A and B are shown apart, each in its own frame.
Chain A
């Protein structure tokens, strides 16, 4: 099977990384709409910690590509205010762990402003941030926190795995009139895949069925998609897996997932958030609601056990899920 999920497109494609895909999305949207601007720590001169915004400063100048002080509340809060005043800001929180510093702005302001004010204003704000562990950065730089964002009504949540989705969904997020929390995963930045050369977008709220199968539905997010593909390879000829990438987590495309479970009768949900109140639990609960009578086995969840991410490699490898854990979970459903 393919190492990266393939794209259905008639036109010409190019092979690029997730980083390049995000960068292209930023370039295209900033060129298309001059209300779009970017701010965050070291996003201009340096092009961001993960090089996503490289080249934007040269093309769009320092008014629209802004290095901020180390002030997360202000980074998010001024983004919110600018959005309320009609701009279309993209703000970057270097690691999702640091959203803790800005959490009032996120939880009590960004998420609530439109609703609390009677639905009378749009907040076209995109918050980009980085999730994920696996590089011995210890507990304050390795968390996966999109479940925290999913918990907040009023914010859309996106978490991508492939270059195709990264580009198409970031463009949609920027054009969207509601706040979108856009999670990039440290271990997918280098993943490569085919992306159309022509302009395209991927709509928010639609899952992708990446591989069709008959025996079990595996729903996998971010880097876990690649672990799931690994697991599929290990089970090839034995278990026929249907692989789904939800891409948008709020709203969740439960229809696509439930339709798959209707066919397979089994489901495994794989995600790097902690298992306690994690994204897996939400997806599993919705599968139960939508496809319970078609299930031949309880839905299995794979995620980080309820501990912080430790520094030392053997400890970190223990808590972050791997393909072996997914194989076990799949076998548990059979």
Chain B
């Protein structure tokens, strides 16, 4: 290490650092990462973990980034403070990612010839320690990662109590594993204490008040809880990363909360379908018959669902479709994140089709939007897409504890037997009685001679009778458009923060939110505050146009190549405002960091517009 660096390092850096563990997939590293995360969280310090994993079961490199900030920043950081290098295959590349003055904990056996001189090294003989101290051959591989938790604990001053808590929490369902894991952590901790003296500035200190009332939840867990509380009773799905964990969690929760302990009856039916065509078809069949039904998938599955989505739109059948976005086109990068299905999902299917799309931007919204999606679907008798993504769905996020729903289910305009008696059978399935485009429906099984009707994806009149009439077709399409207009006003409205009173505004949605929050803070700190509109649903709310009209330049920030929402915003604003709308895009599959917003924004703003 050069002398200059040593001088720079005299000032302590407390609770503000990013740890990156570079390990090998399938080696048990994820458990170690989670224990470290929970231990730091238990100290009252905000954490933001991001798991970057390969489409592979065992052997390929994987990284876990754990960002710690006193402010609770949740976006990915592009600067690594502490590297834990466990994977010889990526060692050289990983080393390049560490910031000047950062820390490198690495397997002692890795070659250190010609390495950087501007970082602090702590070589640890992980393999030797595991071999000599862990007797069980079967456990050794898994526990080896746990040793690094002990080393990092020593390095940063994590109290033993926090580590112990984290291990117990991690192994709630496997209490037998607690002691062996603690023992492995102790090996690392002892090794640190016996062999190293601290040469770096990084420290953790317990905080109070920063994470009160917060829990750590993955977006897919949150959505599963939301679906459960939203009253889902029929779930059909086909496995695909990064969506599988949504239904898998839902199944686990349903096993706990939806089985009648006396009769063994299940108040939910979950079908693992043969493909996504069948999955969405089952959900639509169930929605038609009156159940709250859903499916969950990712890009390739959404592609397969296109035809059925059009049927549900045109025949007006409620259904909730989760799309946990990953990178496309095609199989793309199956374990990397993106927001590139927005445009496709919005108009999924042939013909003039348009859908309600909910865009949760936080884990709390994953819960709330999943729950409320069933109300929207029932109320507007149409598919509702909930677009999350891999970053939001598969990473743990700090979130306020979820609120218990304060409303009963809204089952929409469903006519009962008594309603039909009152109407003396004067009822048309697709008649717009209320002028809001939303007709009344009956459910199969309703015991009234006028209840039955024939649902079809072909042309139909107000009484659901087949017709090829030009006028009737057009009227029906206009009513469907009106229905979406009605829905637009009922969907979650944008969250607008104009406290900056700036000429420049940002528009973003979904998981990009975390990076925007941080970008705004750093822009404000640099005397360049910007206003912000966070979009939460499609079709675009009217507030979007108003927001653009109040700002001279508005940057739409999104995680796709083509600026899909940028296009929608430009289409929505009047011609004289179109040029105000600019685009910032991030689409390399890694969650967007704040710098990916501030840099292009400052560059663009430096040039007179």
Is chain B found bound to chain A in the same assembly?
A: no
